[in-house]
Structure 1
């Protein structure tokens, strides 16, 4: 039903605490996504064939061998050691059958684009199936050559290892990134990226009662986005001349309510990116649908580093989401349908270094909302 996660969120110290490991998965099941491949949507059985994977990269002090964190780097931290579930480049042994992997990028600042790589056959693109984006299943599986994830984004994928019996594969990040501000947009050649996970297909042949994604199973129908928004708001994610991160030229203050949403209303938000950096924007509480500017794979023919508002949401971006990648000079339009819940919530960049340095705002839901178009 849903791949969620939780982490420490202390103001100004989120990055350090998440970097040190204060994060975990929170998986939800229901009568459709049951965790048992013989029932419901027949997705691979948890936990034997349904495996959560938390990606991270970290730095270690060469002298002390302890985890290192640069407090004075306000752009973002890039590690040179690559971890899955807290282990540096682990090994997974699988049987020749379908598996569900739940991928989460915890950063703290690195974007990734994950491929399934056979180092002995680099010329072949090994396709697989994406079935969810963030916390929701897609309407139907989408066959993909790779999955791009900003920090805090999730994707559930189905990989069939039956054709790879007796072989060794790798989950490889081929997205080039040289600093914490964001990826260059270049995709590295197969086998030259960062190898996060070694997968050895040497397990015994076992029964596979899971659904074949190629048959096009329908998981659910998308809710309509035809309703007229009560208000349209815009948010510019930028930095000041002295390098401080801001939203609409303002720093975060937890006592300042930047805008108020009216309960049971529809809103449209436009997120605008600055020049030269990327932001994985996370909006708490209510999920959204992308109306335009949906980011695709880096390096693909239909996906440049800048997106116009005319770019429709297609394919893997069709589900409801809670994180969206805002690319340099990008422009993403989001549709929200708020329910009857009230409360106080944040929106922030999930490059947690940016988040800790004031690229965040507070917004509320109340019985009466405002019409502030640029909070």
Structure 2
């Protein structure tokens, strides 16, 4: 897909809420499979599949604890890692590994996480799926500058003093705003804000007022989330609670977080990424990749096409799509007799009310699906591949499970009832709001026709009130909402889809589609975000603020 054909989509985009009623032939023609992105080929020979054992990210232990809090420390640092066998790759990491260390926290206890930035660039940390106060949420201009950077407050004060002197004391003069990031003038409509910028270290407080769920943390810097995550800034954060602990679900080594990503590599082993500006001063990607970057190497927990020896027993797989823009349809091959190979027990926001069986799962960037696989349904010695039906060539393979022949004890099972899940009442909605995600002429990727401008809110929902939000699209957009999860109630005016069950914080929208969700924000007032989680779309201004009060 070239730039001219892509920009032609803008002429076919319809008003919010009306997409379901009108045909969009150009979108249907250009996006017949509804899959975004363009493949970026690696410049070195790729390894054979299923040779590398599956790594499991280490669990980060608290440095101390008190009555209601657990304290953690993470250093963001450059590390040389062996991702491809025999090849060294420079990565930006949390704690020196990719993925970063896994935080395992308890509902009702606060996790206090101090990040120290020893990277060569600013960073922002967002706990994706976290029910988090605004000052710890990872607003994209709340920059954590590298250790040793000039103090932005002192620089602003100095600039303000100089400006005042130059104006000879003119009444009403103000100190110039801190840009917070070089290169933002290249993003149309962007207004500069200093945010809550600090140098060296920042502490995030996650109160833990939420259900057990599979969360993840990642870089969220305005204009540079794509390259930051691509280079390695992502990790798991698992919340546990008493309700989930009482269930006979797989535990220990049979409870596996699986971060699925795609990457490309340059000839020297470095991560290859089509940044618009090689100096990384201006955000975005080159024109050919504006609809997303697809890598040709599939990594699971940072390893290329790994394999895992499994017992003939139940396993819990916490599936996370941490790719920049790639969608996957995940299936087991061969399928077990009787189907329903993947029994879904949880979504972004935690346990479902009851399990749902799937032969395959479509998972968009940032979505999580907790599934249970019973490998006793396979004969000993079976090699079971996890495949991607949306991929071709090497991207069609993800990993392999090798079923053991040894006898094991397995008392895990999936109960018919998992949780009591509150259902939001559509009749209780006090407002309906429309958010159109689309390409808008020369403005790039937009929400409701405008590129992102920090501090300009598109909505002001009240704490505790239910609202109906309608997301509409031109092409494929996975939409993420911060602060609280939501419930999908309709797709194109019909029932939700097969992967919309439970509490979600990211919903996958296909081309020319409208999805309606019910939201209710609780506990924390402040400014939060909704945005596309195709990271190239996000970096090129497909974000918006909303302010809860």
Q: TM-score range by the shorter chain?
A: 0.7 to 0.9
Task: Give the whole-Å Cα distance in 1 for the aligned partners of 2:231 and 2:247.
Answer: 36
Which residue of structure 2 aligns with residue 205 of structure 1? 407
Match of residue 175, structure 1, among 387, 390, 394: 390
Relative to structure 1, is the Cα distance of residues 261 and 326 closer, same or farther in structure 2, using a 3 angstrom cutoff? same
Which one has a larger percent strand, Structure 1 or Structure 2?
Answer: 1
Task: Give the whole-Å Cα distance in 2 for the aligned partners of 1:122 and 1:267.
Answer: 42
CA displacement at 1:314 relative to structure 2:
6.0
Partners of 1:131 and 1:137 within 8 A in 2? yes
Partners of 1:222 and 1:319 within 8 A in 2? no
Which residue of structure 1 aligns with residue 546 of structure 2? 363
Relative to structure 1, is the Cα distance of residues 354 and 218 closer, same or farther in structure 2, using a 3 angstrom cutoff? same
Which residue of structure 1 aligns with residue 487 of structure 2? 289
Task: Map Cα deviations across residues 11-41 of structure 1 (whole Å, 9 max, x no partner).
Answer: 111110101110001001111212xxxxx11
Partners of 1:41 and 1:219 within 8 A in 2? no
* Structure 1 gap ranges (5+): 35-39, 177-187, 294-307, 367-375
> Which structure 2 residues correspond to residues 319-330 of structure 1 after superposition, within 5 A?
319-330=502-513
Which residue of structure 2 aligns with residue 84 of structure 1? 300
TM-score, normalising length: structure 1: 0.82
CA displacement at 1:204 relative to structure 2:
3.0
> Which structure 2 residues correspond to residues 145-184 of structure 1 after superposition, within 5 A?
145-164=359-378, 165-176=380-391
Q: Higher Cα Rg: structure 1 or 2? A: 2
Relative to structure 1, is the Cα distance of residues 314 and 238 closer, same or farther in structure 2, using a 3 angstrom cutoff? closer
Relative to structure 1, is the Cα distance of residues 126 and 218 closer, same or farther in structure 2, using a 3 angstrom cutoff? closer
Task: Give the whole-Å Cα distance in 2 for the aligned partners of 1:348 and 1:195.
Answer: 29
Q: Which moved more, 1:138-147 or 1:215-224?
A: 215-224
Q: Secondary structure at the match of 1:251?
A: coil
Task: Give the whole-Å Cα distance in 2 for the aligned partners of 1:192 and 1:122.
Answer: 24
Which residue of structure 2 aligns with residue 49 of structure 1? 254
Q: Secondary structure at the match of 2:377?
A: helix
CA displacement at 1:231 relative to structure 2:
1.2
> Which structure 2 residues correspond to residues 1-375 of structure 1 after superposition, within 5 A?
1-34=212-245, 40-46=246-252, 48-61=253-266, 63-71=267-275, 72=286, 73-118=289-334, 127-164=341-378, 165-176=380-391, 194-202=396-404, 204-211=406-413, 213=414, 216-242=416-442, 244-274=444-474, 277-293=475-491, 308-309=492-493, 311-313=494-496, 316-366=499-549
Task: Give the whole-Å Cα distance in 2 for the aligned partners of 1:89 and 1:334.
Answer: 36
Partners of 2:479 and 2:509 within 8 A in 1? yes
Q: Secondary structure at the match of 2:295?
A: coil
Q: Secondary structure at the match of 2:461?
A: strand
Relative to structure 1, is the Cα distance of residues 94 and 278 closer, same or farther in structure 2, using a 3 angstrom cutoff? same
Task: Map Cα deviations across residues 299-319 of structure 1 (whole Å, 9 max, x no partner).
Answer: xxxxxxxxx21x213654220
Partners of 2:424 and 2:487 within 8 A in 1? no
CA displacement at 1:192 relative to structure 2:
8.8
Partners of 2:483 and 2:521 within 8 A in 1? no
Task: Give the whole-Å Cα distance in 1 for the aligned partners of 2:547 and 2:406.
Answer: 53
CA displacement at 1:126 relative to structure 2:
6.4
Partners of 1:117 and 1:126 within 8 A in 2? no
CA displacement at 1:124 relative to structure 2:
8.8
CA displacement at 1:228 relative to structure 2:
2.4
TM-score, normalising length: structure 2: 0.57
Task: Give the whole-Å Cα distance in 2 for the aligned partners of 1:354 and 1:77.
Answer: 10
Relative to structure 1, is the Cα distance of residues 194 and 28 closer, same or farther in structure 2, using a 3 angstrom cutoff? same
Task: Map Cα deviations across residues 123-169 of structure 1 (whole Å, 9 max, x no partner).
Answer: 99562311111131111111110111100000011000012222111
Q: Secondary structure at the match of 1:33?
A: helix
Partners of 1:139 and 1:318 within 8 A in 2? no
CA displacement at 1:331 relative to structure 2:
0.5
Task: Give the whole-Å Cα distance in 1 for the aligned partners of 2:430 and 2:356.
Answer: 33
Task: Give the whole-Å Cα distance in 1 for the aligned partners of 2:349 and 2:232.
Answer: 21
Aligned residues: 325
Q: Secondary structure at the match of 2:417?
A: coil
Q: Secondary structure at the match of 2:248?
A: coil
Task: Map Cα deviations across residues 234-256 of structure 1 (whole Å, 9 max, x no partner).
Answer: 01100022471001100101122
